[in-house]
């Protein structure tokens, strides 16, 4: 039995790159029988992806109602994007003559906030990378029908695919701003310490990074103090930390690559 195919049979996981499912399978106890391996892998996938891939997110009623799509996703629903992108501008110290290119890794439905991004930064380049094919297709449909396709696209893929991620970054002109909102936990849970190497590599292929970490766990309780400490220390040692602030239940950290 091909376990990856078997796991992908569940509709909610059929939209994920095979490499994501393979990685999750590699975390499962090898001594389990095939049926239990499939069950365990699905539990892990549900934990890290399922919670963001609800029906409302993957099948929005109206893909052009960008506010309702943003409200449907656990990660974006608390953000006031006018305030948010204004805060991004002031923290990175941009003026109107500065042409920026945004690359949003693990973008979720964040591409639907492009009208707000455009309001603050003008007709900027936006490239999302996201594991859910459903979300990617919806985002691209929104870009196409709203006339944003010239500058905007969302790419389906796995952030562990270095050729894909760094290939995209190298193809983008300088003044690249990488967004990594609420994705570090997903990456770390699939491969411990992955993010350290990832950030060090990112340093060579972008100029600015904005990271966000959730202040609360998904169930709304536990704080991530310990995990946050190592990552904040790591940022201080390897980047210029321009600022950090708490907003919308997230800790945002503004990094300059030197
Ligand atoms: C917590 S959500 C955050 C979404 C968005 N960054 C935001 O804050 O609005 C994490 C997103 O990362 C995506 N993701 C997780 N692991 C990924 C991977 N290996 N490759 C691509 N996307 C991934 C998930 O599908 C999900 O949409």
Contact 178, 210 (CB under 8 A): yes
Helix (H), strand (E) at residue 100: none
pLDDT value of position 98? 76
Mean pLDDT to the nearest integer, 126-137: 96
pLDDT in tens, 40-93: 999 999 888 877 777 777 788 888 999 999 999 888 999 999 999 999 999 998
Pocket of ligand 1 (CB under 6 A): 20, 49, 52, 75-76, 106-108, 110, 130-132, 158-160, 181-183, 186
Mapped onto helix, strand or coil, the DSSP state of residue 243 is strand
Out of 108, 154, 178, give the residue to mutate to test ligand 1, the one with the largest number of ligand atoms within 8 Å of its CB: 108
pLDDT of residue 35: 95
**DSSP-derived 3-state class of residue 193:** coil
Backbone φ and ψ of 190, nearest 5°: -90, -25
CA–CA separation, 156 vs 134, rounded Å? 9
Query: 15 vs 48, which has greater pLDDT?
Result: 15
d(CA 211, CA 189) in angstroms, rounded, equals 17
The 10s digit of each residue's pLDDT in 136-195 is 999 999 999 999 999 999 999 999 999 999 999 999 999 999 999 999 988 888 888 888
Token pair of 50 as six digits: 């399922």
Predicted confidence at residue 110, as pLDDT, reads 97
Tokens of 67: 């506010």
**255 neighbors 241 (Cβ within 8 angstroms):** yes
Strands ordered across the beta sheet of 240-247: 152-156, 125-130, 101-105, 176-181, 208-214, 250-256, 240-247
Q: What is the DSSP string of 18-40?
A: HHHHHHHHHTS-TTS-HHHHHHH
**Which atom, in ligand 1's list, is nearest to the CA of 180?**
6
Site to probe by mutation for ligand 1, drawn from 130, 133, 209, 249 as the one with most ligand atoms within 8 Å of Cβ, is 130
What average pLDDT is seen over the chain? 91
pLDDT bucket at 219, cuts 50 / 70 / 90: low
Using alpha carbons, select from 52, 39, 65, 40 the residue that is nearest to residue 12. Answer: 52
Which pLDDT value is given to residue 49? Answer: 83
Average confidence (pLDDT) over 22-31: 94
**Integer angstrom CA distances of residue 162 from 88, 122, 166, 168, 258:** 27, 30, 6, 10, 21
Checking if the pLDDT of 216 tops 90, the result is: no
How much is the pLDDT for 131? 95
């Amino acid at each position: 039995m091909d376990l990856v195919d078997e796991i992908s049979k569940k509709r909610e996981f059929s939209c994920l790159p095979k490499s994501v499912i393979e990685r999750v399978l590699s975390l499962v106890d090898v001594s389990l029988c095939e049926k239990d391996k499939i069950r365990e892998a699905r539990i892990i996938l549900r934990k890290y992806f399922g919670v963001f891939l609800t029906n409302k997110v993957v099948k929005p009623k109206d893909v052009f109602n960008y506010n309702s799509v943003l409200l449907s996703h656990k990660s974006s629903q608390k953000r006031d994007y006018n305030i948010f992108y204004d805060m991004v501008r002031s923290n990175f110290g941009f003026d109107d003559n500065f042409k920026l290119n945004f690359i949003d890794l693990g973008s979720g439905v964040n591409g639907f906030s492009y009208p707000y991004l455009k309001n603050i930064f003008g007709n900027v380049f936006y490239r999302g990378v996201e594991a859910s094919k459903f979300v990617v297709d919806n985002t691209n449909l929104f870009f196409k029908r709203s006339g944003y396709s010239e500058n905007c696209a969302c790419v389906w893929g796995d952030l562990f695919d270095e050729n894909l991620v760094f290939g995209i970054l190298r193809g983008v002109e300088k003044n690249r701003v990488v967004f990594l909102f609420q994705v570090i936990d997903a990456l770390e849970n699939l491969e411990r310490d992955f993010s350290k190497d990832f950030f060090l590599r990112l340093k060579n292929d972008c100029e600015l990074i904005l990271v966000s970490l959730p202040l609360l766990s998904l169930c709304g309780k536990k704080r991530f103090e310990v995990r946050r400490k190592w990552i904040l220390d790591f940022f201080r040692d390897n980047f210029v930390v321009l600022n950090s602030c708490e907003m919308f239940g997230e800790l945002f950290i503004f990094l300059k690559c030197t």
